[in-house]
Chain A
Amino acid sequence: MPENLLDVRDLTITPAGADAPVLHDVSLSLAPGERVGLIGESGSGKSLTAQSVMGLLPEELHARGQVHLQGHSGNLLDATEKTLAGLRSDIVSMVFQEPMSALNPLMRIGDQIAEVLRIHGKVPRGQIPTRVRELLHDVHLPDPDSARFAYPHQMSGGQRQRVMLAIALANSPRLLICDEPTTALDVTVQKHMLDLIAERVAAVEAGLLFITHDLAVVAGVCDRVIVMYRGRIVETGSVDEIFTAPRHDYTRGLLASSDLEATDDRGRLFTLKTALAYSGPQVQGAEPGSATGEWENSGGEEDAPAPTRGGSISTSVEQSTADDVSAASARESTPLIEASDVTRVFRGRGLFGRRRSDVTALGGIDFTVAAGARLGIVGESGSGKSTLLGILSGLDRPTSGHVRVGDIRVEAASSQALRRLRENLQIVFQDPFASLDPRMRIADIVAEPLIAAGVDGDERTTRVEEMIEAVDLDSDSLRRYPHQFSGGQRQRISIARALVTRPQILVADEPVSALDVSVRAQVLNLLTDLVDEYALTLLFVSHDLGVVKHLCSDVIVMRDGQIVESGATEDIYANPQEEYTRRLIAATPSLAEALAAG
C-alpha cells in the first residue's frame, strides 16, 4: 500500500472546560492526488478537522489523536507552532470561506502573494515578481500586471477568492484544503471557481480536501465523499455510492433536502425528517414525489402544518391548484404592485459639488405583480436586486419613474403613507445573524412592528404568540435572546417578525442563502406554508435559481439594473431567451447534472 498523503486517526477535540468532545474519534485518509469531499452541516466538525490538519485550531480547543502528513514525520498534533508554520503553504494549504475578509486590507495583492513565496524561500528573490505574475495568470485574473498593485477592496469576491487560490498553490503543496470556498460567491462565479480549483489542483498534482455543506458542489469536484454529522464520520464512499445508495439516514436526509427538483406529495421539499420518502435524484427528470405513503409516518414533526391550517394533504394540493387559478384571474385585474420606468442613480459627490462618476443601480425597470403572485427576482450581485427591494419597501426613493404598492405611490409618499406601506409590506433579510438585535428578547423583536403600527399591549402579546407558533417555534422561545438560536431558527423568527403585522406582501431577500441545505428546505417549506395560509404576495430575491424555480410562479431576471427577461418561471427555465439567463441556469449546481456529468 502506498503511503497516504494524509492520515487522521481517532481525532477527538474537546473545548477547554467542557466534558463532551465536539469531534469524536474521526479517522480519515487521503491518497496522494486524491480529491475528497468532506460534507456536513454547520457544527458537524468538518472545519475543525481541517484546522487540526493545518495546525490552526483555536487555542481553547484541545485535540487528541494522530494526524500524519506525508513529508513530515511525527504527529502534527504534537508539533510546535514553528514546525507547523513551516509546513503550512509548503505541504498543506488552505482556501477559506470568506473571501471578503481573508486578505489583509492594507497590503497590495502582489505583496500578499510574494510574501508566501518569500516565507518558504523556494523561489529565488529576483524571480518573485515574475512568479507572482505567473500565479495571477494561472488563476485567470484579468490583467495580472495591474492586479498585482490592487488592494483587496478593489476586487470582487470571486477575484479575491482567485487570489486566495493563487496564494494557496504558490508553493505547489501536496494537499489543498478548501473550506466552503464558493459558499459566499454568486452562482456564476461559483461555477468558474470550482472549475478553476479542479484545474489548478490537477496542474500542481495536489490532493484535495473539499469542505462543503452543498452536495451538488461536491459531486462535480471530488472522487470520494466523507459525510460528517454531529462531530462524527457517519458515512464514506465514492460520489456515486453516496448519491445513489446512501446508507446513513443523515446522508439520505441531506441528499433529499438538497434536491430542489423533488417534492413530497404535498408539494413541499424533503427535509431530514421526511427523507425516507425521497427516491434519489432524478437524472432523467422523472415524476417527482413517486414514493408515497411515507408522509403520514413522519408528519407531525418539523414540517407539520400549523393547527389553524387543519386540512388534509389532498385538500392542500387542490388548494394550491385553486391558488393558481385565482392568481391567473387576478392577473387580469389591477396589479398589486406596479413599477414603471423606475431608475435609481447614486450620485458620486466630489469636492465643491464636482460630479464623480454616477452609478446607475436601476436603469428603467417596468413590471407588475398581481395580488397572490409569487415573483422571483434573480441576478448576480450588483444587478440591482437590493436597490429595487429598497424602493419597493419605501426605504429608498427612485430617481425617476413611478412605483405603486397597493394604493400608495412610493416615490411621493408621505411618512405616514410609508408607515402604512411598511405595515403592508414586510421584509425577511438575508443574514439571520445580523438582522436580529442581539440584546432584545424574541418576544420584543417579533412585537416591534406592532408597536410601530400602534397595536395595544394585549393584542400584541396574542399576535406574537400566534406568530411564533405559526413558524413552529415553542412559546418558551419568546423569553430568549437571538444568540440562543440556530441560523434556521433565527430565520423563522425573522419570518414571524415580518408576518406579525399581517402584511399582504412578503419580501424575502436571499432568506436561505446563509443557511445549511437541510435547514434551507425547512425554511422554504415554512415560507410556502405561510404564503398559502395567509394568501401572501411573495417577492423572493435570490441568486439561487433552484430555489426560485421551486418557490415562484413568475420570475424576473436582472442584470446591471435592467430586467433582461421576465415571465412564468417554467417558461423561462424551459426556454430562456437571453444568453445571460442561460448562463445563470447552467451555473446553478444540481445533483442530477453533477451525477450525469460524473
Chain B
Amino acid sequence: MLTYAISRAIQFALSLLVASVAVFALMSLLPGNAAQVALGTNATPEAVAALEAQYGLDRPPLIRYFDWMGGMLTGDFGTSYVTGADITPVIVGSVQVTAILVIAAIALSILIAVPLGTFAALEQRNWIGVTISAISQVGIAIPNFLAAIILVIIFSLTLGWFPSQGWMAPIEGFGGFLLRLVLPVVSLALVQAAILTRYVRSAVLDVMREDFIRTARAKGLTRSKALFVHGLRNAAIPVITVAGVQLATLLVGAVIIEQIFVLPGIGSELVRAVANRDLVAVQGIVMVLVLLVLIINLIVDILVPIVDPRIRNAA
C-alpha cells in the first residue's frame, strides 16, 4: 500500500511536470507578442523592445520556463504584463472561492445522490423508483446555468430568500457568506446529483445481483439489511471513481456559474484574463486547474484501494 501511494505520488509529480511544459509551450508558441499586446498597436518598436527586456521576454524559452516554474514552486505566479500587478494574490484568492463552491457542491450532490440512488434501486419496480429515475434523467438534461437562472427567479427575485449574486468572505460575515453560497452551490449540485444518482442506482442494482448479497441473506439478513451491511461499500467503488471525474468537471464547469452569480472564483479570473490577453495570468490559472484536477485523481487513486483490499494487494 505504501509503495503504491509512493508510485502514485511520483506519477502525480510527473504528470504535473508534463502539464507545465505543455501549458508553457502553448502560451509561448501562440502568435502575438506579449509586450506588443500590453502596449497596444501604436507602440514604437523601441518601446516594445524595452518592455520585452523589462519582463525578460527576450531570454531563451528554456530559461523563461525555469524562471516561471521556479516561481510557481515558491508560490509566485509572476507579474501581469498587462496590469503590471502581482497575480499571485488574485489566483490564491479566486482558488479559495472556487474550492469552497465546488467542494460544497460535490458534497451536496453526494448527500442527495447516495440515498436517492439506493432507494431508487431498492424500489426499482415500484412507482417511486421509476419516478426517481425519471427525475434524475430530466436533471441530467438541464444545463446548470438554466438551473441557476430558474433558482434565482424563484428564490431570489420572487421569494427574496437569498441574494441573486455576489460574494462575501467568511471572515467578513459567516451568515452572509452562507447566504450567498446557497444558490450557486445548489445549481451546481442539482445536475451533478442527477448524474450521480443514476450511477449510484446502477451500482446498487449490480451489487444486489451479486452472489455475496445472496450469501448475506442466507446468513439471516433481510434484503435491505444485506444491502446496507455488504452492498453499499461494494457499490462505493465505482461511485468514488465517477465522483472524482465529476469533481474535476465541476472545477471547470463552475466558470459559468461564477459568471452568473458574479463570484470572484478562478473561472471568472480565467475569463477576465483571456479577455485582457493577460498571458501570465492565463498560464498561472490553467496550471492551478491542472494541479487541482491531478490532486483529485490522486485522492481517488488512493481512496479506491483503501476501500477495496483486492486492489490494495494487487498494488
Contacts and interface: CB of A to CB of B under 8 A. Distances in A.
B83 interface: no
Contact of A351 (B7, B214, B215): B7
Interface stretch (A104-112, A328-336, A471-479): A104-112
B219 A106 contact: no
B252 to A, nearest CB: 32
A81 B308 contact: no
B60 interface: no
B64 interface: no
B172 interface: no
B212 A104 contact: yes
A355 B234 CA distance: 32
Instruction: Tell me which of B216, B225, B229 has the highest count of chain A C-beta atoms within 10 A of its own C-beta.
Output: B216
A104 B230 contact: yes
B298 to A, nearest CB: 16
Contacts of B210: 101
A439 interface: no
Contacts of B221: 85, 119
A104 B218 contact: no
Interface string B195-229: 00000000000000011101111111111010001
Interface stretch (A88-96, A304-312, A511-519, A533-541): A88-96
B219 A101 contact: no
B313 interface: yes
Contacts, number: 79
A218 interface: no
Interface residues of A, number: 34
Given A86-B220, A101-B210, A116-B220, A154 B215 contact: no
Given A107-B230, A116-B219, A153 B211 contact: no
B27 interface: no
B171 interface: no
B134 to A, nearest CB: 21
Contacts of B220: 85-90, 116, 119-120
Contacts of A107: 230
B158 to A, nearest CB: 45
A96 B219 CA distance: 12
Contacts of B233: 106
A151 interface: yes
B59 interface: no
B6 interface: yes
A151 B307 CA distance: 12
Contacts of A245: none
B61 interface: no
B212 A105 contact: yes
Instruction: Tell me which of B3, B214, B218 has the highest count of chain A C-beta atoms within 10 A of its own C-beta.
Output: B218
A153 B215 contact: no
Given A104-B234, A106-B233, A94 B211 contact: no
Contacts of A350: 3
A93 B214 CA distance: 12
Interface string A93-128: 110101001111111000000011001100000000
Nearest to B214: A56
Contacts of A456: none
B56 to A, nearest CB: 38
Contacts of A93: 218
Given A56-B218, A85-B217, A106 B211 contact: no
Contacts of A90: 220
A579 interface: no
A450 interface: no
A153 B313 contact: yes
A101 B217 contact: no
Instruction: Tell me which of B214, B223, B225, B233 has the highest count of chain A C-beta atoms within 10 A of its own C-beta.
Output: B214
Nearest to B215: A102
Contacts of B3: 350-351
A521 interface: no
Given A81-B223, A101-B211, A154-B313, A106 B234 contact: yes
A82 B212 contact: no
Nearest to B125: A59
Contacts of B214: 56, 96, 102
B106 to A, nearest CB: 23
B309 A153 contact: yes
B218 A54 contact: yes
Contact of A105 (B219, B229, B309): B309
Contacts of A523: none
B211 A98 contact: yes
A102 B212 contact: yes
Instruction: Tell me which of B221, B225, B308 has the highest count of chain A C-beta atoms within 10 A of its own C-beta.
Output: B221
Nearest to A93: B218
Nearest to B226: A85
Nearest to A59: B125
Given A98-B211, A107-B230, A351 B6 contact: yes
Interface of B: 3, 6-7, 125, 210-212, 214-223, 225, 229-230, 233-234, 307-310, 313
23 contacts: A56-B218, A85-B217, A85-B222, A88-B220, A89-B218, A89-B219, A89-B220, A96-B215, A101-B212, A102-B211, A104-B230, A105-B212, A105-B310, A106-B308, A106-B309, A116-B219, A151-B309, A153-B309, A153-B310, A153-B313, A154-B313, A167-B215, A351-B6
* A-B pairs, 5 with minimum CB distance: A101-B211, A116-B219, A119-B220, A89-B220, A151-B309
Interface of A: 54, 56, 59, 81-82, 85-90, 93-94, 96, 98, 101-107, 115-116, 119-120, 151, 153-154, 164, 167-168, 350-351
